[in-house]
Amino acid sequence: MFAFLTVNIALSFIILPRKHEVPEEKRWLATIDLLSMSTAIFRAELAMFLAPLALQAAISRKASLVKIIKIGAFAASTSAVLSILVDSYFWRQWPLWPELSTFGFNILKGKSADWGTSPFHTYFTAFLPKLLLSSTPLAVLGLIVDSQTRELIVAPIAFVTLIS
């Protein structure tokens, strides 16, 4: 739930026009910074959204790859240390990094199937059409009319594909 807020704020840095124009590279790096923090603290799965977005920023030269890696690594490592300190204190277990524990449970131990499984295509054929029912015509119109929308759709599609 908290990741939802930080992801929306991070994406607003690259989506919303600014009255006092902040350089594009700074806006993209701020997005990478906040998404890296959110990945380390709230949802490890955001790495599957962050990676395509960072790659897209580097390929389209919105930000340099070296700066993306530096900022992302610093934000993620600092956030992980803070998460470990705070969560270990409150859960009285040292060291505790909840997102690493979740990753280990779901991926390394293969227990994600305990939550239920669906075919690979389910997000595209069942879940997203239900969620986007009323907004689909506007989304299609946005893809046709606005080049920024076409540019920004890459990372979400990659994320849904990877998480499937």
pLDDT in tens, 19-69: 667 888 999 999 999 999 999 999 988 999 999 999 999 999 999 999 999
pLDDT at 18 over 80: no
How is residue 145 written in tokens?
């009319």
Cis peptide before 119 (omega within 30 of 0): no
Closest CA to 80 of 72, 90, 91: 72
- Which H helix or E strand runs over 163? helix 154-163
CA 103 to chain CA centroid, Å, is 15
AA identity, residue 78:
T
* Residue 19 pLDDT: 65
Query: What does the alpha-carbon distance between residue 159 and residue 22 come to, in Å, rounded to a whole number?
Result: 27
**pLDDT computed for residue 108 by the predictor:** 81
Mean pLDDT score, 120-138: 88
- Mean pLDDT, the chain, rounded, equals 90
